Amino acid sequence: MKNLYLAMAIVGGVIPYVFFMQHFSTAGFGLGEFVGALFANPASGGFTADLLLTSMIFWIFMFHQRSRNKAPAPPMFVVLNLLIGLACAFPAYLYARERQQLAE
């Protein structure tokens, strides 16, 4: 599973950036335009809201697991989540967790 998590983290990092770069090349790097595009219509707003809620749940889970000393430190995965997305951060976290458990 460890290698699958790593592969999915890479795929989850590349695919969103293909779409982000398309947006940035046409609309520029303005944060306002980007957020506006995330909520451009009810369908995209629903997906965005779902992603934001799921990210929050992921963060709570990571910090809870870390408080029990059963998981890697969350800050790097929070940064991945914010800069790339959950599709990269979550499998990267699972990969790091698998590595940590195998090392024990």
Answer positive or negative: Cα dihedral of 32, 82, 50, 86: positive
pLDDT in tens, 25-46: 999 899 899 999 999 999 999 9
Which residues does 100 contact at the CB level (< 8 Å), separation at least 6? Answer: 71, 72
Rounded Cα–Cα distance for residues 18 and 39 (Å) = 19
pLDDT of residue 70: 78
pLDDT in tens, 32-89: 999 999 999 999 999 999 999 999 999 999 999 998 877 899 999 999 999 999 999 9
Write the DSSP assignment of 26-65 as a string of letters: HH-S-HHHHHHHHTSSHHHHHHHHHHHHHHHHHHHHHHHH
